[in-house]
Amino acid sequence: MNCIIVDDEAASRMIVSHLCSQVDDVTVIDEFPNALQAIKFLNKNEVDFIFLDIHMPDFTGFDFLDTLANPPKVILTTSDRNFAIEAFEYDCIVDYLVKPITLPRFIKALQRLESAPAAAAPVTPKETPANPEASTEKEMYVNIDRRLIKIEFDKIFLIEAKGDYILIKTEQKNYTVHSTLKKIEEKLPDHLFVKVHRSYIINIKKIIDIEDNSVLIARDVIPISRSNRPELMKRLNLL
């Protein structure tokens, strides 16, 4: 069986790799210090299972699993016992190893792995856009001072919620509109826009870079919430 190890601690990766070397039919094909590198690898490669740490900076093990459309089997490795209930809400997770990991407990986890059924592909809750018409439209009209102003979708940088209003930032100018983020989200095409925070929707084609928990759009640094980060990572064309 081929596997990868995802853990931000080098010592922990070394320990798991050493334990794997003591089992004849387990091969570690790569190790990763963060979830993002592992996602890039899995976009082009398949593995039988993953040893996955829960606590990692910026992107937890659960965030990582949420980005995978069809995750392989997973054995969690963690020093925290408090996430056991949450862990087994994921069909792909077959065991929960608490550090320090002993060889007998490690072997037991592998036995559970071999007997566990293959992880089923999760049902995507949103197969089609909330508003099918939005996928074919190229612009929308907003009411500003009793005038209907046309705004082209591909010219929008971001949309920010400001109380009872939203601020639409575009290449030419900014527009303040009496509306809600939820209402305008229904009008936007899914292939261009993603909600990254309860107060922000961004045009993914306008992203300059992503660092830690923020994204740079033009000159604006936009926060990325933990709950919205997995969806953003799914939408990016990662190399």
- Which domains are seen in the chain, by residue range? 2-115 (3.40.50.2300), 132-235 (2.40.50.1020)
| pLDDT for residue 136 | 64
Spell out the per-residue pLDDT of the chain, length 239, in tens: 999 999 999 999 999 999 999 999 999 999 999 888 898 899 889 999 999 999 887 778 888 888 887 889 999 999 888 877 778 788 899 999 999 999 999 999 999 999 887 655 444 444 444 455 455 678 999 988 878 899 999 999 999 998 889 999 999 899 999 989 989 998 999 899 999 998 999 999 999 999 878 999 988 999 998 888 888 988 888 77
Between CA 62 and CA 67 the distance in angstroms is 9
Is the omega angle on the peptide bond into residue 100 within 30 degrees of 0, that is, cis?
A: yes
